[in-house]
């Protein structure tokens, strides 16, 4: 059965796993951290996707002081920002961003500004003019704060925005913000997004005469 279209006013885009495939870097850095801590690397990676690093650490090591998590995460962020080997765009990301250039959209990512800039550049993708990063929120995904701030920056109510996400934490944040969520890639399927697509090659964005954006989905 064809996927019904969505009609919205603005789009809020996650970065890692949605626009940028950074799995190789994330795996290198977090597997190393997991081994150092005696934790299961696969479980660490399952928790790490879509969250700020210090919250991943707090989830996995709940008895540690948050000050230690923040300090240790600064080191991991430096590693991740410097390591761009294997970073590539998600299929269709470049063309999708090009189609959105004159439409209301924003990047909403759990990455720092520096990490976001490094990964978007490594993937050869245009950085949206409006962006909400880890530096702009007090609560990370799955809290909806980032998506609500993105909607406010674009000047549209949450229910008229759509979220593009790949992770469980990100999908939960979008739904908690009252927004439909397009789940991108294989990780998204198990977290109940509104719509699921394998990648961005299956998505088309068209401006309607009244200024709204119609999203259609192939397949």
Residues designated catalytic: 14, 16
φ/ψ of residue 10, rounded to 5: -155, 160
15: buried, middle or exposed (CB in 10 Å: 19+, 13-18, 0-12)?
Answer: buried
Which two structure tokens, joined as six digits, stand for 113? 């500004």
Alpha-carbon distance 193 to 197, whole Å?
10
- 205, 103 in Cβ contact below 8 A? yes
Alpha-carbon distance 131 to 153, whole Å?
9
- 191, 183 in Cβ contact below 8 A? yes
Alpha-carbon distance 151 to 10, whole Å?
8
Alpha-carbon distance 140 to 151, whole Å?
16
How many CB atoms are located within 10 Å of the residue 17 CB? Answer: 22
The residue among 70, 210, 64, 61 whose CA lies nearest residue 140 is 70
How many CB atoms are located within 10 Å of the residue 121 CB? Answer: 14
Please tell me whether residue 140 adopts helix, strand or coil conformation: coil
């Amino acid at each position: 059965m064809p996927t019904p279209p969505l009609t919205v006013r603005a789009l809020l885009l996650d970065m890692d796993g949605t626009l940028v495939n950074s799995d190789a870097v994330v795996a290198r850095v977090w597997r190393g951290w997991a081994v150092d801590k005696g934790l299961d690397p696969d479980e660490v990676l399952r928790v790490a996707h879509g969250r700020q690093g210090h919250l991943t650490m707090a989830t996995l090591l709940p008895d540690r002081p948050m000050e230690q998590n923040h300090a240790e995460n600064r080191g991991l962020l430096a590693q991740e920002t410097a390591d761009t080997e294997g970073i590539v765009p998600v299929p269709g990301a470049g063309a999708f961003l090009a189609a959105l250039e004159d439409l209301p959209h924003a990047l909403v990512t759990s990455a720092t500004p520096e990490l976001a800039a490094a990964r978007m550049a490594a993937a050869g993708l245009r950085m949206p003019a409006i962006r909400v990063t880890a530096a702009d929120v007090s609560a990370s995904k799955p809290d909806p704060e980032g998506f609500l701030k993105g909607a406010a920056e674009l000047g549209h109510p949450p229910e008229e925005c759509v979220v593009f996400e790949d992770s469980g934490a990100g999908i939960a944040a979008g739904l908690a913000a009252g927004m439909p969520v397009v789940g991108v890639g294989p990780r998204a399927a198990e977290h109940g997004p509104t719509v699921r697509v394998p990648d961005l090659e299956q998505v088309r964005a068209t401006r309607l005469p009244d200024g709204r954006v119609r999203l259609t989905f192939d397949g």
